[in-house]
Amino acid sequence: MDVLRPPLIRIGGRVYRKNLIQEQALPHEEEEEDLCAGPGDVDEPCDAFVVEETERGFQCRVEVPSPLYKYIIGKKGETKKRLETETRTSISIPKPGVEGEIVITGQQRSGVVSARTRIDVLLDSFRKKQPFTHFLSFALNQPAIQEKFLQFKEEVLEKCSKDHGVSSSLFQNPAKLHLTLGTLVLLNQQEIQKACDLLQRCKEDFVDQITGGQPLTVEVAGVEYMNDDPTMTDVLYAKVHMKDGSDRLQMVADQLVERFVASGLMLKEWDRVKLHATVMNTLFRKDPTEERNNTMTGKSSFKERESFNGQNILKLFENFHFGEVQLDSVLLSQRFSSDASGYYATSGQLCFS
């Protein structure tokens, strides 16, 4: 990270710089954390999961996506062995790549509860470290918007190509223009289905009431930058607003994110969703497939970024009109993917009408 351009954090309407803290690198990228309690620690009983009584004692089943098995097994099986020893249980884990349940068995109910609680802590910790796989989005890749975006790109390169750092590699793929509402880590088909089901419940609970079962007419106009120095810009985005001047688009976005956060499928980042359509991003210079900007949640990008001077772009295109669009659905989009139209592959959607 460039110490002269630390990431920005918005808290309570204020913007703070996040200073770099030196951390000692681990010798192994996936070294397990010491999240298991010691032999003297006692876990409180928890009613959040079911412990069944069997002929030989007690048993608890845990649904775990297969990519997370390795964090319960640990290096050379050490984490699993330690859990079993300290809780006096036996932990059965499916084979790598095979979706299934982890089964905890033991003679004492307290031991099974303790093992399950510690496994939950491990999974929660390592899940937060996974790069996001999906995101909720509004597609802005309608032909008219794409055409105006390409005009914007052409004019920027014509008038501002001599400005520091400005090049054609900075621009978004027009087929992938979108608004991101929030990101998710969905590691198997069951979790994807859970997100799809929640979208449909949101439609019934509040989306239909806000939209009236009709598309939302949105104008995409004007550009703005993310950081606090336009001469060192990393992300330039197009602004969006409801044509009728209402805040219905913001209401849909905020309530969707609130519901997904409450379900545990999404991490809370801001009090309100920042509705924006990225049009230029310095991450694209290094990686054309990168579809998010540095304000989104997930693993931080430590790629070296070469900023660009956006002063002239902001001045010349302050009120550039990208067009008007009818938003009629929220998409559960898959990262690093493309469908026949060039947009992200869709795993599910919430239709307004």
- Closest by CA to 332, choosing from 207, 217, 178, is 178
pLDDT (tens digit per residue) in 220-246: 999 999 988 999 999 999 999 999 999
Give the C-alpha separation, 232 to 316, whole Å: 17
Q: Is residue 189 one of the residues assigned to a domain?
A: yes
Q: Is residue 41 one of the residues assigned to a domain?
A: no
Range scoring the smallest mean pLDDT among 151-160, 181-190, 252-261, 302-311: 302-311
Residues 96 and 169 reside in one and the same domain: no
Domain boundary among the residues 94, 129, 164 is at 129
Mean confidence (pLDDT) of the chain = 87
Q: What CATH number does residue 70 fall under?
A: 3.30.1370.10
Q: Is residue 327 one of the residues assigned to a domain?
A: yes
- Phi/psi for 112 (5° steps) reads -65, -45
Domain that holds residue 122: 51-129
Residues 78 and 222 reside in one and the same domain: no
Q: Is residue 4 one of the residues assigned to a domain?
A: no
pLDDT (tens digit per residue) in 64-82: 999 999 999 999 999 999 9
Amino acid 18: pLDDT: 63
Residues 124 and 150 reside in one and the same domain: no
pLDDT (tens digit per residue) in 97-143: 999 999 999 999 999 999 999 999 999 999 989 999 999 999 999 99
> 322 with 238: CB under 8 angstroms?
yes
Q: Is residue 33 one of the residues assigned to a domain?
A: no
Q: Is residue 39 one of the residues assigned to a domain?
A: no
Surface-to-core class of residue 180, CB atoms within 10 Å of its CB (0-12 exposed, 13-18 middle, 19+ buried) = buried
Range scoring the smallest mean pLDDT among 42-46, 215-219, 277-281, 293-297: 293-297
Domain boundary among the residues 129, 148, 166 is at 129
Number of domains in the chain: 2
pLDDT range class, residue 43, cuts 50, 70, 90? very low
For residue 10, pLDDT over 80 is answered with no
